[in-house]
Each structure stands twice: as C-alpha cells, then as structure tokens.
Structure 1
Amino acid sequence: MMAELPFNYSPWTSMQTSLPHEQIKRSAFLDVYRGSAVLLMIIFHFCWDLRNFGFMEFSIYDPFWIYFRSLILTLFLTAIGWSTYITLNKARNPSFWKRDLKLFISATGISLATYLAVPNQWIYFGILHFIFIASLITRPLVKWPITSALLGAIIIFVYHSTNWLHFPNAFTTITSYVELPERTLDIVFPFPWIGVVLIGPLLGYLNWHKIPTPSNLAIDILAFMDRYALPIYLTHQLILFCLVASFKMVLGLIF
C-alpha cells in the first residue's frame, strides 16, 4: 500500500485534464469549467503548503480533503472527454499529436525533475501521466458519447460497490519487476478515474459547452487560467511553496 501522499498528490494532487486543449471556437462555459478546476487546485496546494510549514493542521485523509481532491479531479478529467468530443465533431481533420506531445514531454519532465529533487518520492504516474494514457485509451469511444458514459458509470459503480477493480497487490507485483518508491508526491490510480474520463463526452453531446456565460472579470480570470492551465500546473506549486517558505522565514527573523 502507498504511504501518505503529500498532495501535491496534486491531489493533486493532482490535474489534464485536458490541461492542454484544442483551439476550436472556444466555449466560454468550458473555459470556466476547467478554469474553476485550476483555481481549486491552486487553493488545495496552497493549503498543503500552509500545512507543511505549520500554519494549518489537517489530514489529507479527512473526508473534506478527500472530497475536495475528488471534485478537482472530476472537473479536470470529465473535461478531457468533453473537449475531445467537441474536437472530433467540429474539426474537419482533428489532430491530437501536438497535445499528446505536450503531455508526454510534461509528464516525462515531471518524473525527471522529481527524481532528481526527491528520489525517494519521485512522481512516476501522476496526473499528467494518467491524462496522457487515458486520452489515448478513451479517444476511440468518444464518438459514441452515450455508450462511453454508460461504460464510465459502470466502472465507477463497480469500483465503489465491489473490490473487483481495487487490485490491492498491484504495487507489490509491479515493484517486483521495477523499482519504485513507496511514497510519491503525486499519483492517480486508473480506477475509478478512467470512468470519469469516459463520462466527459456525454457533456459535449448534451451541449453543455453552449450554456450562456456572462462576461465579467471573474469569468475572464477563470478563462485565462484555463487557457494557460498546463504552464500554471507546472509552475504554481513551486511559486506557492517559495512564497510560504519565505513568509515562514520572515516570521522567524521577526519573532
């Protein structure tokens, strides 16, 4: 079993979803949807940093933080199938290679950077790794949104009502062939989250992206956060960590 994961456990842990996404007549509502996930992710990690430096006390296993993490992941991951559905139905010759390449490079970079910085907790399958794999696996099903959503719902139901998809010995089996740390800074398990991705296309089929969205400063900020979700994801924790660490140091000098 995995030890306590410092949610950079990004969860973010954790979240692609689709962090990078297609530029097809942008939907203001979808921008706000994903931008809200980015904002919640930043809040979560800020609270984690405050906890890490002693400004807050809480367990990431408390129900509030578990549900908070689940909400963030759900927003990100449903957006993967949703945005892919829009692309496949609106683009004449849809191509995902640029997005896939960005995800692959970013995920590889995260693994390399964390391996060099914290080799005992490096990220080998975090949110970006999961999004990259999930995007490839679920893309063929996106054209059939109702079937995709039903399959996703079945996966989620089976996961929460049985232990069939829990695979408690998976980590032990994998580490008998590949050496991996018992702790990791970020991990997203395939189940039930692949089911959440599969529900995403239904939102596109139901035309949620056409929901009227007001124009104001708050909406513009969330849309901006969505457009630059990937660079924000890659840099925000470093910035937050440095800010909280600096504040802690200043307080130490004053008091």
Structure 2
Amino acid sequence: MSIGMMAELPFNYSPWTSMQTSSVFEPTKRSAFLDVYRGSAVLLMMIFHFCWDLRNFGFMEFSIYDPFWVYFRSVILTLFLTAIGWSTYLTLTKAKHPSFWKRDTKLFISAAAISLATYLAAPNQWIYFGILHFIFIASLITRPFAKWPISSALAGAVITIIYHSTNWLHFPNAFSVITSYVELPQRTLDIVFPFPWIGVVLIGPLLGYLNSHKCPTPNALIIDILAFMGRYALPIYLIHQVILFILVAAFKMVLDFIS
C-alpha cells in the first residue's frame, strides 16, 4: 500500500544558499526549513509503509479504516502537498527565469515507472493515479495561481472547507463510473482523489509568502537527517518501500525457518 489511499478505502539554510540538487520537490534555491518540513513527511511515510509491511506479514493487526491510520495518512499528504505549492511559489519568485521542465520530466518519468512496475508486479491492482501522478498534475494546476499566494490559499481553503462540510466535492460514484468505461482495475494499490487535496496544494504558496522557509533550524543530527531526506524525497520515495518490504519479508522467512 502506498501513501495514496487504496481504492477500497472510502482511502537548507536561511538566508538562501546556492546549493542545488536533483529532487523534484525543491525550490531553485534551497531552504533548510523547507527541507526539514519535507523530510518529516518522508519519515512519516516510511513509518506508515513499514507498519503496513508488518501488517502484511502478520506482525501487526490493524484496520486501514481505523481513524488513526486515516488521519496519519492525511498528515503525510498534507505535508507533502503543501510543500509542492510552497516550493512552486519560491521558484516563481526567487528565480529570474523560473524553469520547471526538469522537475516535470522527473515527476512524469517517475510516475510512469511506478505504473509500469506495479502493472508488471500486480496487474490487477496497478497504480494508474497515485501520489506521484497527482503531484505532477497538481503542480501544473497550481503554477498559474502560485504568484498570488493569498488568493491561492483562499481558493484552497474554500475547496477544503466545502469538501469537509458538504458532499458537493465527494463524487462517490466517480471511481466506479470511470472504471466501467475505461479498462482499469477495480482496486488499485495507490490512488489520490483530486478533492480535497488540490485545495491543500493551493494553500502551499501562502507558506512561501509568509517566509516560513526562513525559519531557523536547530543544529542537531536529526535535523540534518530530515533535511537530507527532504532534499532527496523523490528517490527515497521510489526505493524505500522495496527495501522495507524485502527486509520484513526476509525477517519473516528467518522466523519461519527457525520456528
């Protein structure tokens, strides 16, 4: 199970430095606080997936419908998606000639790779619109609004409030209708629905406007680790679950062998 909701669920330094890396979740110039913010999401995502692997192999018992896990996932998505809008704002306002083609290309290729890999590994549950697919689309949608962070955040807040206070943006039958017309599996390992999450992305630019990226970060090992994870969020996302799954599976095999 990826950090996106399964189909069966109702689921850097400040001031600025010139260091650049290859992560698609970053602004043109890095902020230590934004890296730590994003790295915190990566760490929580790894914990989430590790617990799911433990559950998959019988080491833990819990329901993915439990409010704790639903809220836990929502926190992770909120951190990741606000960081998208936040970094988009920083790129648009700090770079003289902002260019997104490299990060867009990396996101597109990574999302396509996830689809291909899951299609080969689990053709009845392959991922066709998971978190990376959503981030790619949401980045394109958010870009025109990010230069007006207050208006963007107001629009995002309205979307979020409407979703949580009414049924207007729920579209409960949309998934079944789409899969009835398009040859897609009825269940998927990872899916992120547009609402309310596009609203969360639109709130992100406000964090940049408020200069949240300039918040100081303590000089501590855990902060350095989180910043590293935030800097390389995409490659960590792509490989961490494979590693965790193999480790838990190997541990299970050892226990079965010696018991």
Q: Which residue identity is paired with 1:52?
A: N
Assess if the C-alpha contact under 8 Å between 1:146 and 1:202 holds in 2: yes
2:19 corresponds to which residue? none
2:161 corresponds to which residue? 157
| RMSD over aligned Cα atoms | 1.4
Matches within 5 A, 1:141-152: 141-152=145-156
Q: What SS does structure 2 have at the residue aligned with 1:24?
A: coil
1:236 corresponds to which residue? 240
d(CA) in 2 for partners of 1:60 and 1:171?
Answer: 19
How far does the alpha carbon of each residue in 1:127-165 deviate from its partner, in whole angstroms, 9 at most, with x for none?
Answer: 000000000011100000000000000000111111111
Q: Which residue identity is paired with 1:219?
A: I
How far does the alpha carbon of each residue in 1:54-105 deviate from its partner, in whole angstroms, 9 at most, with x for none?
Answer: 0000011101101100000000000000001011110000000000000000
Question: Could you say if the C-alpha distance between residues 82 and 74 of structure 1 is closer, same or farther in structure 2, counting changes exceeding 3 Å?
Answer: same
Q: Which residue identity is paired with 1:8?
A: S
Q: Alignment length, in residue pairs? A: 244
d(CA) in 2 for partners of 1:96 and 1:103?
Answer: 11
TM-score, normalisation: structure 1: 0.93
Shift, 1:190, TM fit = 0.2
Shift, 1:21, TM fit = 3.0
d(CA) in 1 for partners of 2:120 and 2:112?
Answer: 12
Assess if the C-alpha contact under 8 Å between 2:153 and 2:204 holds in 1: yes
Tell me which of 86, 90, 110 is aligned to 1:82.
86
Percent of paired sites with the same residue: 81
Assess if the C-alpha contact under 8 Å between 1:12 and 1:127 holds in 2: no
Question: Could you say if the C-alpha distance between residues 186 and 23 of structure 1 is closer, same or farther in structure 2, counting changes exceeding 3 Å?
Answer: same
Assess if the C-alpha contact under 8 Å between 1:122 and 1:184 holds in 2: yes
Assess if the C-alpha contact under 8 Å between 1:10 and 1:41 holds in 2: no
Structure 1 runs not aligned, ≥5 long: 1-6, 14-18
Tell me which of 120, 131, 138 is aligned to 2:135.
131
TM-score, normalisation: structure 2: 0.91
